[in-house]
Structure 1
Amino acid sequence: MRYVLSESDIEFTAIRAQGPGGQHVNTSATAVQLRFNIHASGLPLSVKERLLNISDSRITSEGMVVIKAQGSRSQEANKLEALARLRELIEQAEHVPRTRRPTRPTLASKRRRREGKSKRAEVKSGRSKVGI
């Protein structure tokens, strides 16, 4: 990632984790929810557009990225995991797909295809009944 995101662009919220985990998970807010507003960020316009066009359930229709991390027992580790996922998402949007240049089949490939077709037709005609 070549861009530096300011801390004001990213908002962290500590929430309770879901799933099994015993008494600890019911009392502590170790899961982290990261919220990142694409429109208000300092990313270049081209990256913002590609980020908004990614079909990902973590990106809302208002242009907000919401990432929930709850894999670790510590809140700090979950923050780092959420930031890593955001970084991956932005790197995915940074990638500019190469434009496809239409090509035509070469003369030799056309010739090979025709020869293959005629050989196959010859094999099939050899299978037919012999006229008496």
Structure 2
Amino acid sequence: MWWKPVQAVVILSKLFFAATSLFAAFGFLLYGGRLFLMLQRFHVESKGRRKKLNEVGYVTTICFGCFLIRCIMMCISAFDKEADLDVLNHPILNFFYYLLVEIVPSSLVLFILRKLPPKRGIAQYHPIH
């Protein structure tokens, strides 16, 4: 594509990346939704369960939304010359595009999942007799 761009190959490559993003979006929706429903079925009501349920819901929603937006943008970019996502000649547009579809969602997911489980001390393990 770089040496001699053929319009049909350019459109097919953009549609391929759009389809890949669509599969990733539905993968997050399927597995995140299954985990959310599995956690929701537990009868024990606790603060930790509610927090984990919220975390799974937020991460699933953010990842599904980002990949779906990327899929839609790639489809629009494939057929509309004015909506080209390759904005390397305009660094400010490039910065805002990647800020919205990469940096902000990744930061949100990292913020939601920021707390690590507590480390177990050696004294808490008991030898097997």
TM over 0.5: no
TM-score of the superposed pair, with normalisation by structure 1: 0.23
Bigger relative CO (Cα 8 Å, ≥ 6 apart) = 2
Bigger helix share: 2
Bigger strand share: 1
Larger radius of gyration: 1
TM-score of the superposed pair, with normalisation by structure 2: 0.23
